[in-house]
Chain A
Amino acid sequence: MSFEILTYGFMHRALIAGVAIAILCSVIGLFLVLRRYSLFGDALAHSSFGGIALGLFAGVYPLWTAYAVSILSALIITKIKDKYNISGDASIAVLLSAGIAAGLVIISFSGGFSIDIFSFLFGSILLVSVNDTVLILALTGAILIVILLLYRQILYSTFNEEQAKVSGIPVEKINYLIIFMAGLTVVTSIQLVGVLLISALFVIPNVTAIMYGRGFRQTAIISISFSVFSVLTGILISYIFDITPAGTIVLFSIGLLAATMGIRSLGLLSKK
């Protein structure tokens, strides 16, 4: 195998951006999974599809409109859920279809599907620009710093809202913050795996890591490692064999999940 590919600028950018997104999705995803919000990433991704279509239609950089729509829907979904007492999964289903429906209508107005739309649907990490990479790194850094600073509050309100409230933690604000950060993360990650596969990055490494039966920090570290591993190997392998990176990345992380399940059912993960 040739290591020449590692010298290409676009490959550097893809790998750096990919690793940042892998870390970000795994961390945000862990909190979402534990809050029974596993499909939330999916819902936001689909609603940002509407945002992307809007951007393409209006001639604005599509990721900007996607950020706006994603964050807005994240906040709306939370408000609606609280106010009308709709269950989480139902409100996610509504948001998900609303985004796609709006996207489709806007696309047909603007004369049908284009190459651009496909790259957002399925990801385009090998095409990521220097500016995109810088933005991805900055956002990842900012979100991780916020999470580290508010680590106890976020963890405690994820564990049990009521008890966190009794301890004086502003649970509602923390909830909105997480949702807001999830909105940012989703749009940022669209470049890696596309709209359709985002929730894979949020959910699979975390479900896998939780099976190892460790404490919170170790679980987060296991999840990040798996996520980064899948993204790195996924990008490299997909380039070498000329297949789609998004699909390869997700299949790799599913492979890790299957392997973990295998190890576990052999009894190798039971208590020390």
Chain B
Amino acid sequence: MNAVEISNLTVKYPDVKALDDVSFVVKEGDFLGIIGPNGAGKSTLFDAMLGLNTAYSGTIKFFGQDIRQSKKYHKEIGYVPQKPEFEKNFPATVSDVVRMGLRTESDENKIDEILQQLWIHELRNRRIGELSGGQLQRVFIAKALVNNPKILILDEPVTGVDQQSIELFFSILRELNSKHGITIIWSSHDLDAVNRLANHVACLNRTLFFHGESEKFFSDDELVKQYSEASMQEHMHHH
């Protein structure tokens, strides 16, 4: 079954067309890496998919349901934002934050379980504002996962995280995808990381430049080169 189906998605901001006629499908169990340079429209794509921006044209479907028609998809999605923003002295502990993600009556066992799975159980009672970037990232993944979502959407979640935490994070993602069958959609600048983790790739730069199996993309030097050049140009253009 198709977890996600995006057809002819176009998003215009007052000054730019951020996405232009983008269509692709994500099958259940896929691990899709979305690559694209700064300003390519990755966050814009996610905003539309998550219902944060409804001013788009085209259709977005989760499990066959158009999100304009049904809000049921909310409970199947876990989302880890690019920059989790919150008040630095917010009086919430790690378990408070994970509990916010929990939709049904507070289930403390579930919270403990997920914290253990992400290796942050000992941080349970620490205030959220005191954590390091890598710890924070895992807390937000825990919050996204605590509802047992079928789809996990992560927007460039490894900026400012050290190599060791990145490796741990990658192995967690891999396990979620292969063992627990969670469909993962993950945006990144990092071609190597996408090559290592994802089994599908979408190259986005306002339009969809390539979408398919990652093997196909990465074994085709010409394609990779084209992509890199295109994003370089785009980059220069922006500066």
Contacts and interface: CB of A to CB of B under 8 A. Distances in A.
A104 B17 CA distance: 52
Contact of A166 (B52, B86, B89): B52
B51 A166 contact: yes
A270 B101 CA distance: 28
Interface string A150-172: 00100110011011111110000
B91 A166 contact: no
Nearest to B140: A163
Interface in B95-110: 95-97, 99-103
Interface residues of A, number: 23
Nearest to B126: A271
Contacts of B99: 152
A164 B127 CA distance: 20
B79 interface: yes
Given A159-B100, A162-B81, A167-B74, A215 B52 contact: no
B86 A165 contact: no
B100 A155 contact: yes
Interface string A2-20: 0000000000000000000
A215 B95 contact: yes
B85 interface: yes
Interface in A126-164: 152, 155-156, 159-160, 162-164
Contacts of A164: 100
B160 interface: no
The SS class assigned to the A binding surface is helix
B125 interface: yes
A213 B92 CA distance: 9
A189 interface: no
A216 interface: yes
B87 interface: yes
A236 interface: no
26 contacts: A152-B102, A156-B100, A159-B86, A160-B84, A160-B86, A162-B52, A162-B81, A163-B81, A164-B100, A165-B50, A165-B52, A166-B77, A167-B74, A210-B89, A210-B91, A213-B91, A213-B127, A214-B91, A214-B93, A215-B91, A215-B93, A215-B125, A215-B127, A216-B92, A218-B91, A219-B91
Given A159-B86, A165-B50, A217-B96, 5 more contacts: A34-B90, A162-B85, A209-B91, A215-B96, A218-B91
Interface of A: 34, 36, 152, 155-156, 159-160, 162-168, 209-210, 213-219
Closest A-B pairs by Cβ, 7 of them: A168-B74, A219-B91, A215-B93, A156-B100, A166-B50, A166-B79, A216-B96
